[in-house]
Amino acid sequence: MNRRGEYFLIPGLVCLAVFWRAPFVWFRTDDFAWLGLRLEVHGLRSLAAALFRPEAEGTVRVLSERLFFLIFSSVFGLHAALFRWFGLATWFLALGLAAALGARIAGSRAAGIAAAVVWTTSFGVAVPLMWSSAYNQILCAFLLLAALYARARFLESGEKKWRLAEWAAYLAGFGALEVTVMYPLAALLYTWCVARKKDRWAWALLVPAVIFGGIHWLAIARPAGEIYRVAVDGRIAGTALVYVRNALGPDGFPGRWAIGAALAAFLICRLWRRDAGVLFPVAWFALFLAPVLPLPNHILYYYLTIPLIGLAWLSGWALEGAWRAGGIARALAIGLAAAALAGSLPQINTDTAEWLERTSRMRMVVRAAQAAAAEHPGAALIFNGVDQELFDTGFEDEPFRLFGVTRVYLAPGSQDLRGSERFRISAADATSMVASGEATVVEAPPR
């Protein structure tokens, strides 16, 4: 096996071993809203609206959400496995690029591969690997790493094709996730700290970031409500601490502070040796975490997916250095690596099992509804046996409109669920509609 093959194969196999449930996970919540996007397209004008109209929290993610769901839902319908495998394939490419770059940052192929393994065994990446609506994190990570890899190759070879590749991946990143605006700073720091070269044309990368940031901030309306309210105040420090803690391990994991202390010691040691390259992984983590820090009411751990690349590079470098040092350093590194896995893997197992169980129930409900709609065309659907967990897995995002059912109700007795107001129907109306054939009952699967 050649070296480049190892970068992709080893982390990819580890990922499959850890996230073996991912290909079997079905759709959930926001997925159904995006799957319904194709229903809004009837011509060029409506296609333009579907691609560029701000949605969710005022975002316009043309590649990672709009085109992704429009194309896949049009071709594959509700077959989630194709969505999942495409996401995993993108992730494997990102892991390979992370390994290749980690090898350059640390000067060791083993350190690069270790970094990619650390990244893909972090519990913070679980949601993007299980949820199609979070594919934006995976695609953006891949594009950012592709751009940086192209920059590294350009700085090594001087070939202009790599500069063009960097620009192509960088500009595509704006269609994946807004944090792409931080890439120019990361590129400049890589040039100075890792490659230790000068590239005055790298400053041009700032121009698209400034334009995109200005348009996004000034021309796109901010969503109402407290959840997405930007707060640049003292809460930023608290939000940063929450993210840092969870970057080192899940809540309740006591070893995360020991891991943090070991990484800090390694950082100080490298700086003492005047190795400025060690600053780059830390800067990457800080740069790509910064955009979400002003959102104290919207802390989501999968926002760590891209920042964790920096922590993984630092970890891989530290592990490789400790292994070469031997003795106590090697034993300590093995112990901390085992502790990190002991904290992360059980959490990943719990999270992925929960995703598989909940989405499997939702799949059975939707398939039963499809069968009922085919047997009783035009009839309303009354769902019996829906609990809060199942309701929260997708009812509010109207999955049944994907096959033409717009009249959906919860059977009397299950209407006290939180958020179910628009699905309510009286017992008398439900009985009358079923008796007349205007509605049919769909039984929800038990837990």
Would you write out the chain's pLDDT as a tens digit for each of its 447 residues?
556 778 899 999 999 999 999 999 999 999 999 999 999 999 999 999 999 988 766 788 999 999 999 999 999 999 999 999 999 999 999 999 999 999 999 999 999 999 999 999 999 999 999 999 999 999 999 999 999 999 999 999 999 999 999 999 999 999 999 999 999 999 999 999 999 998 989 999 999 999 998 887 776 666 666 677 777 888 899 999 999 999 999 988 888 999 999 999 999 999 999 999 999 999 999 999 999 999 888 889 999 999 999 999 999 999 999 999 999 999 999 999 999 999 999 999 999 999 999 999 999 999 999 999 999 999 999 999 999 999 999 999 999 999 999 999 999 877 678 888 889 999 999 999 999 999 999 999 988
| 3-state class (DSSP) for residue 42 | coil
* 305 closest CA partner among 119, 63, 31, 68: 119
Q: CA torsion sign, 54 to 58 to 60 to 65?
A: negative
pTM of the model: 0.95
Q: Other CB atoms closer than 10 Å to residue 98's CB: what's the count?
A: 30
On whether the CB atoms of residues 102 and 112 are closer than 8 A, the answer is yes
Q: Look at residue 2 in the predicted model and tell me its pLDDT.
A: 58
Report pLDDT for 56: 62
Q: What is the pLDDT of residue 191?
A: 96
- H/E/C letters for each residue in 327-366? HHHHHHHHHHHHHHHHHHHHHHHHHHHHHHHHHHHHHHHH
Q: In this structure, is the dihedral angle defined by the CA atoms of residues 150, 151, 153 and 157, taken in order, positive or negative?
A: positive
Q: How does DSSP assign 128-167, residue by residue?
A: HHH-GGGHHHHHHHHHHHHHHHHHHHHHHH--HHHHHHHH
For residue 409, give Cα distances in angstroms to 172, 248, 382, 443: 42, 44, 5, 12
All residues at 6 or more sequence positions from 175 whose CB lies less than 8 Å from its CB, including other chains: 61, 62, 63, 64
Question: According to the model, what pLDDT value does residue 1 have?
Answer: 52
pLDDT at 59: 84
In eight-state DSSP terms, residue 227 is T
What integer pLDDT is reported at residue 228 of this predicted model?
73
pLDDT of the residue at 225: 64
User: Domain map of the chain by residue range?
Assistant: 3-354, 376-443
